[in-house]
Structure 1
Amino acid sequence: MNGLSERDICSKFVTPALVAAGWNLNSQIREEVSLTAGRIIVRGKLTSRGQQKRADYVLYHKPNIPIAVIEAKDATHSVGAGMQQALEYAELVDVPFALSTNGRSILMHDRSVSDGTVEQEISLQEMPSPEQLWQRYAAWKGIASAQNPVINQDYFDDGSGKAPRYYQTLAVNRVIEETAKGRDRLLLVMATGTGKTYTAFQIIWRLWKAGAKKRILFLADRNILVDQTKTNDFKPFGGAMTKISNRQADKSYEIYLSLYQAVTGTDEAANIYKQFSRDFFDLVIIDECHRGSAAADSAWREILEYFSSATQVGLTATPKETKDVSNIDYFGEPVYTYSLRRGIEDGFLAPYKVIRYDFDKDLTGYRPEAGTHDRFGHEVEDRIYNQRDFDRTLVLDRRTKLVAGKITELLKATNRFDKTIVFCEDTEHAERMRQALANANADLVAENHRYVMRITGDDALGKAELDNFIDPKARYPVIATTSKLLTTGVDAKTCKLIVLDQRIQSMTEFKQIIGRGTRIDEEHGKHYFTIMDFKRATELFADPDFDGDPVQIYEPGADDPPQPPDDDDVPVSPGEIDETDQPEIIGGVLGNPFGDEPPPRKFYVDGVEVNVLSKRVQYLGPDGKLITESLRSYAKKTLQKDYKTLDEFLRRWTDAEKKQAIIEELESLGVLLDGLRDEVKNGETFSAFDLLCHVAYGQPPLTRKERAEQVKKRNYFAKYEGKARAVLEALLDKYSDEDFGPLENAKVLQLKPFDEIGTPVEIVKGVFGGKSAYEAAVKELQQELYREGA
């Protein structure tokens, strides 16, 4: 038994014990369940995946209800060796039972026990049955009846293999459980990009199929959200579903989707929802409920209060809590929260790096000379203008061109067809930015004028291109300038660049804007996205209410010029500005509708120099805190933290059976060798060993070829003859070309020149006398390679 692997223990002992206890192998037992995707680690232009959280077993009452986690180890481990891992996964999926086994017995941890024995060791023959654990699970959850049909209703399964992620399952189950207990006001908080609408669909499906809720209303505040929902996630409802799109209510359907503006109006006759009786709907789902339903005097609240007898579920990425507006006050505390930080950590959301620019006029201010007139002849008020004023009350044309130039510079350095959203102060600013970007990218605009477009609420042509912008298959538009229209709800999966040239002081709005880029699209090479910040919006990262840290940020350093004072005026939150109520545009193509009076809301000043003052890089460290340094400095600190001296590192390197394990360990902490090689002169010629010793301990590095030549000069191969010597010399040549990889993978024996010596079996057995002898010879070769350290 001691010779059996962990997988052998599972197949020969654990699975048979589960089946003998009554667990259904097809529907209740899942092995090697990937709970997370592994965090995406970003360093420069390079990305890698961190380690997945993968449970050896998850046991289910039904496919949608996990109730226990099992971690297995081989027989050389103690029975409780996997318990801490099992407890971590049990907490992640919210189940009370965590089991650890080595194939000989089981250690069972029962979180449902409030007093008495929490952990006890049992034999494999005492494996609990599904009925035993389900009854105890239901009691732990406070479910009155374990046979409740709502609780036991399966989720929708189209046979494609798509199933809810662990947090979506948890969110659905929390709502279902609370509904079964009679709670009728529920709030789900899930970060943008984590599948709120799909989660809502599964909630509705289970309640509808169980007969608990027969008529359902799904409300959203953007027409595109309703249409996306109807044609995508809600499609399985088929003919039972309708979209309310006219002023006559058809009461023959069961699932109703509606833009809330479509059912409310300014007078009683326009309120279509009143054509339904107050008890018509059993369930009302409010998508993006932070944008109005919380306010006591909002149109949303009016609808919710009219259908007050229905169970109401609010969905939001950013629960709104202000003096006058509170979702929690209406819905109660969230039944489940899945944050942006958690989504990034799990690898389901894209991390991001931030490039922050500070301009001299933004920080030190601009004061016009006495008698200065703008391009339309208006005398510019004599005062100091700073970042709060630019593009709101005063426009510096060179500032706009500088922003457009920096955006273009980044796209040229990466990919000029990366989908990009530029958030501006208002629709007029969005139009000016469109013009500046068109001029900065004149070559691509000449090929297709839709390369850059303004997409705002008052621009019919721009709005008509919105579907093309969010379609991964559509090449154009590439760059969208906007002010509010793209802040929320738009599923732009391939958006790789978000530009903030808008002052943002609302945490809710900031999270929503960041959410435009958090979706991962590996098919189109989208693993992370970039934020360019020109107006200090990313200072909100430091706010304790923000729950997702960037992986990289360029920003002013401690010695950079001071920031403008915060008390020189009262800033207007962008959240208070509506696209239908923008500042008047004076001059330009619209002309001046006021003649000489009243004075313009904006002054347009040309010819004023604007320059970049500073930028700095910050990395997200393993402790979740931002650290300001290069990758080289970060790698040095990371290595020296675990290996304080060169000797300690040499011992670790020498003792490691697989050098790749050390590399993967460093990569999980954000130290990527390819990135280091880019920063170190001639780094591509050094072995991983020399590169790390050089960066962390200042040792003069040898190239792989130099290190191999040293072994040959010492006449190391003199003790080998014939084919054995030929094999080891060929391995050394492989090292010169490819580093240690070929030395750790016996498959290299299938390649040239080894195939000329013999087959892998002939080489291992015939030349070296067996696997252990071959491995010993290779290990000795590696020790000789690193014998003199760095």
Structure 2
Amino acid sequence: MANANKEATARIKINKLLEEAGWRFFDSNEGKANIVLEPNVKLTTSQVSALGDDFESTQNGFIDFLLLDERSAPLIVLEAKAEDKDPLVGKEQARKYARAQNCRFVLLSNGNLHYFWDLTQGSPYVISRFPGPDSVAGYKKFEPNPTKLVAEVVGKDYITLTQLPNYANEAGWKNEAERPDFIEKNHLRFLRPYQMRAIQQLQVAVDEGQNRFLFEMATGTGKTLTAAAIIKLFLRTGNARRVLFLVDRLELEDQANKAFVKLLKDDAKSIIYKEQRDEWRKAEIVVTTVQSLLFNGKYRRLFAPTDFDLVISDEAHRSIGGNARAVFEYFIGYKLGLTATPRDYLKRFDAAESKSRDPRELERRMMLDTYRTFGCESGQPTFRYSLLDGVRDGFLINPVVVDARTDITTQLLSDEGYAVLDASETENDDDEETYFQRDFEKKFFSEGTNRVLCETLMRHGLRDPVSGEFGKTIVFAVSQAHAAKLAQLLNEMADTLYPGRYQSDFAVQVTSQVPGAQQYTINFANNRLLGTANVLPEYRTSKARVCVTVGMMTTGYDCPDILNLALMRPIFSPSDFVQIKGRGTRKHNFLEQLFDQDQKELMREPNKTRFKLFDFFANCEYFEERFNYDEVLKLPARTTSAKRDDDFGGGQPTVGNYEHLDPDAVRTLQEQHIGLEGMKIDRMFFEKFEEQVQADDELRRQVETGQWQQATEHLIKVFFDKPQEYFNLEKLRRAAGLDRRLTVREVLEKAFGRIPSFKSKDELLEEEFDRFVLDYKPADAEHIVAMKYFFKAYITDGHLRTILDDKNLNGLYTNPSFGMMDYEAVPQGWRNRISNYIKDYVPLNRFL
């Protein structure tokens, strides 16, 4: 009887999954039935009702499924097993049946664990959702040929031949004197030798049967150009119909799409998903942020596992970090990761002695997960090209490191005061989770410390070789409040040093709370931020000389004429350090910005040969073993007294107040519980809220452009806790009848139609478990039900977490929701694995 129940439960789940994917048991307005039950018996609705839960059983065991295409021809064989059976045990049986039915595809499922198998392409692949009829019909037309991919010749003009196929016959190319201008005029891009080697290494890996690749390439070495060549390689050889390019930041979304349009527009159509939601099937390249797909499990609703044949993850350790990896693993096909962060940066960190929430430990796990995801557990990527390689080959520039520390910054380093971005939780680059930072906030925000850092930068920074003014600079602050203070100080100093020249345009705060900040970053790179010239009219360079940011200008920001970088915060993340350092490594010829030929001829050193990296917190010492600093500055000693800061002539108190600009969390309200008679009022309450929100044009613009932090702040400021209706998250949750906490992001998504409804606690738990399965692909399929029960209980039962974390297993005998028998049903090797996964990747607040 128990086995029959498990069979029936599995079948019920499988039926639901089929219907959710668009398959039909019966004829309907949507089309003819496209599910046939073996042995070729179609059941009527009345027959199904009469059989009840046992309709799937026959004398010979399970009735399996045959899924049909639009012509009612066999398309997929679905082999179903009971919940306690591994779906793979039916693999060979399904293969025989599929061949007999002339089917290329097989689904294997026990209701909880599912595999999709293309019989022409390797082994079964774990999936979390069944593909629908249209998706599989399109995939059926796709017949990849790895041999053709391996044999494709990729020369240095591989991309150029797409941009201008007949370039070699053009007069401008044939004339060597005119060739540089011809290349620049047509924006032609040629692959460098190391980029061709990267592609060749991928071809070797494909020839060896691999389908996952990881490129570790230093910032400034052209990862996007390399990715474009690989996309062309897969599309041209028929090994991909459509490519998904994942980024982890909004600004990189637009940057990547523009690059693909420029490089591949004659061979492939590239779009940003959010801008052309209804047209994505017509494109060969779809660019999106991983966070937008991850939110509320959107990727499962929007796409089938078979919709993309090549998935590329830019800055892979960030864009597939944490539970974002589930998006990456969801799709069947080839996977390529791109990263600029060398795994070697983790070698001096003793993870065994770290605290569990230490950002270095988070970074270590993220990096190790990345290498594991791409099949590089040994630490050797498919291809590696380091900063040192780029410098040696003449493509990049090493920094001149300026070691500048005050006694306060040195103390803070030893006291472990720092902040780290938690990229798995937010799309916004300026949201930081802080650790051990109470002293840091008080001391670092004092006027004296900020002033000495700015004075040091102004005194020792490199100058522009053409105009002689202060070189273009990026300053990295610890928070938005700190960025505002630094920008103000730098502008005050510039007014003193260069009277009347800048009018407070010398330094600009570039953080998410500043309107138009994203455009500021673009204008700074294009040399038109607050003006295009301030010293020489014929020289195009940004009037604003310094951008003060927190995280907006770290990853993927290309501004080659940067001459100074200033780390006015400690950094413990290897990826952040590498990205920030990489902002200055690109070479540049300043003559490109000068339009006076006579002055060009007078220039002796027009090329950028160095840049300065001002390090006020020994970040370089932390990441670079035995690093010989190019320049060591002895800064004024400072007192750690909390009285006055007379050493700097400012007379300011050393201990300042930390200024927190982000909105407070929504208040918790005590309200009388509303009975059933109040449910209609509740619904009206929520509808009234949505009507008011939808009428706010500024909020709508922020949502449509993906400015989620600004939208969140606007919603809270304008609509929450006002006397008229007193909207807040708790009242909205009750009005929606939801059994868990709501987030502001969810409320916005629902109000503007980005999600059809709020998901229940159990629906979110199911999604989280699906992500876990996609990541770890458990072979203990017969224990999958017990593992899921443990997974859900550990998330929702705080008492159970305490029992297990304290290793007080006797407490399981009296725990009502999850007892000792439940615990013992979970294989021993999976108990800690599940709990550790939840600690690292599942935000528990969502389930309260």
User: What TM-score comes out, normalization by structure 2 length?
Assistant: 0.43
Which has more strand, going by share of residues?
Answer: 1
Q: TM-score, normalised by structure 1?
A: 0.46
